[in-house]
Amino acid sequence: MEILEKDLENQTVIEFDLVYVYKELLIKAEGYDLEGWFCPVFANIVNNELVLELGDPVSGNTFFMTNSWVDNIECWKFDGTAEDYKEYGLPSSEFFDRNEIIKSMVSDYVDNFDFSEIADNIMEYCKTEGFDVRFI
């Protein structure tokens, strides 16, 4: 992400593609078969760029005492196999591509996701670090 401009309060504005980054985090969170657990999402600014990082799974009752925590992603596991090809609208098991199906599932999920809370948390974090963020 690149620095765009200085705003009226002299804060640097960072462009950030939240939807793309969130999809990547959801894909990284796949594989943890821990019902009721989640992976925390932490923000960090490195070289004037906003970075979101996925933490290790923790139980649902965990609280974070840091302003860099911005969200939680539920742990999940994709259990589909090539034998389930019809479930995914594929003509045969030969067309089964686990990674592509996961990407498609994540895209479908994100299409209906409300980003308002994580966006607010990210904006608040950036403000405390002397930055403003514009979501693209």
- 65-117 pLDDT, tens digit per residue, is 999 999 999 999 999 999 999 999 999 999 999 999 999 999 999 999 999 99
pTM, entire model: 0.87
Examine residue 120 and state whether it is found in any structural domain, yes or no. no
Examine residue 38 and state whether it is found in any structural domain, yes or no. yes
Residues 50 and 46: their CA atoms lie apart, in Å, by 7
- E-only strand ranges, 55-109: 58-59, 69-74
The token duo for 64 is 């974070």
Examine residue 128 and state whether it is found in any structural domain, yes or no. no
Examine residue 24 and state whether it is found in any structural domain, yes or no. yes
Q: How many domains does the chain have?
A: 1
Examine residue 124 and state whether it is found in any structural domain, yes or no. no
Examine residue 9 and state whether it is found in any structural domain, yes or no. no
The residue with greater pLDDT, 11 or 13, is: 13
Examine residue 4 and state whether it is found in any structural domain, yes or no. no
Q: Write the DSSP assignment of 84-128 as a string of letters.
A: GGGGGT-SSGGG--HHHHHHHHHHHHHHT---HHHHHHHHHHHHH
Reduced to 3 states (helix: H, G, I; strand: E, B; else coil), residue 123 is: helix
Residues 130 and 136: their CA atoms lie apart, in Å, by 20
Residues 73 and 115: their CA atoms lie apart, in Å, by 12
How confident is the prediction for the chain on average, in pLDDT?
92
Residue 37, pLDDT > 70, answer yes
Residues 70/42, Cβ–Cβ less than 8 Å: yes
Examine residue 110 and state whether it is found in any structural domain, yes or no. yes
The residue segments making up the domain with residue 23 are 18-114
